């Protein structure tokens, strides 16, 4: 009899264990610290009525379904993406706070009214996609702004007012396949992007103030990726008129 009881108790505990494991997997409420992190991130934004349902009376995620606006949720209820697009948002993108979202891989704040310098996205070294298109970001981007972002595949900075040279740390990203810089005020020469001609799903630097020869590694791309830069030359655009330089050299 004692024997049977033992087996029963064991089975009972296995059942309890099984059910609680199931709960962990399927009834995935969000990590409470993610709620605080997201609310802190929101506190740096303004004109944010689009985020009115971000409050602590609900979980941000129910498994893969987002409850709070603009979140992309993983099966376990963690946030892997912020898709805060077309929301009229202003204020500060507080990168230090976002480092509290351990599963975060993608940020999109396209089509808002953010201003000022590029947020220090490289503090989030696990990001795969960064979409900042069509805001009012300004100024030069530090040379090292993208250093250490070894997972970054997609970056969209188009439709802002960035100036200065294209940072060399951007050209050095090992996994980059989509780059959109069009419609800014980038100047200087295009750095040497090592990706081969088939390495790009999207590449566009049109409508900037770039000058000089297009690097050979980009010469097989469509010419429309380079239009609107008066100073660019070489394949796929017209040949560089280096001969004029030489004529002037010999004349002087």
Ligand X SMILES: *[C@@H]1O[C@H](CO)[C@@H](O)[C@H](O)[C@H]1NC(C)=O
Enumerate binding residues for ligand X (CB under 6 A).
47, 49-50, 53, 55-58, 62, 87-88, 90, 113, 182-183, 204, 206-207, 222, 224-225
Whose Cβ is closer to ligand X: residue 169's or residue 207's?
A: 207
Whose Cβ is closer to ligand X: residue 80's or residue 122's?
A: 80
CB of 204 to ligand X, least distance (A): 4
CB of 240 to ligand X, least distance (A): 21
Whose Cβ is closer to ligand X: residue 50's or residue 211's?
A: 50
- Report which residue's Cβ sits closest to ligand X: 88
Given the DSSP bridges, would you call strands 209-213 and 231-233 parallel, antiparallel or unpaired? parallel
CB of 100 to ligand X, least distance (A): 15
Whose Cβ is closer to ligand X: residue 73's or residue 98's?
A: 73
Structure tokens that stand for 12 in this block: 């009972």
DSSP states of 13-75: HHHHHHHHHHHHHHS-BPPHHHHHHHHHHHHTEES-GGGTT-STTS-SEETTEESSTTEEE-T
Whose Cβ is closer to ligand X: residue 39's or residue 211's?
A: 39
Pairs from 219-222 (Cβ < 8 Å, separation ≥ 24): 221/197
CB atoms within 10 A of CB 91: 17
Q: How far is CA 57 from CA 51, 68, 112, in A?
A: 14, 11, 27
CB of 70 to ligand X, least distance (A): 12
Structure tokens that stand for 154 in this block: 């997609």
CB of 51 to ligand X, least distance (A): 10
């Amino acid at each position: 009899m004692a024997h049977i009881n033992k087996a029963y108790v064991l089975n009972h505990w296995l059942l309890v264990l099984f059910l609680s494991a199931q709960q962990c997997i399927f009834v995935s409420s969000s990590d409470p610290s993610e709620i605080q992190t997201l609310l802190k991130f929101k506190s740096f934004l303004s004109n944010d009525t689009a985020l009115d349902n971000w409050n602590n009376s609900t979980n941000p995620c129910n498994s893969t379904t987002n409850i709070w606006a603009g979140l992309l949720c993983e099966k376990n209820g963690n946030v892997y993406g912020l898709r805060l697009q077309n929301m009229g948002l202003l204020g500060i993108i507080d990168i230090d706070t976002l480092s509290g979202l351990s599963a975060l891989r993608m940020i999109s704040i396209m089509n808002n009214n953010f201003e000022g310098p590029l947020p220090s996205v490289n503090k989030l070294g696990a990001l795969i996609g960064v979409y900042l298109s069509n805001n009012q970001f300004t100024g030069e981007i530090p040379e090292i702004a993208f250093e250490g972002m070894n997972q970054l595949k997609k970056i969209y900075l188009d439709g802002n007012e960035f100036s200065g040279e294209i940072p060399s740390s951007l050209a050095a990203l090992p996994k980059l396949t989509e780059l959109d810089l069009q419609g800014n005020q980038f100047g200087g020469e295009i750095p040497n992007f090592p990706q081969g001609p088939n390495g790009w799903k999207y590449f566009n630097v049109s409508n900037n103030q770039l000058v000089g020869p297009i690097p050979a590694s980009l010469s097989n791309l469509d010419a429309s990726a380079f239009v609107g830069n008066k100073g660019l030359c070489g394949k796929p655009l017209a040949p560089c008129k280096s001969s004029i330089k030489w004529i002037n050299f010999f004349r002087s």
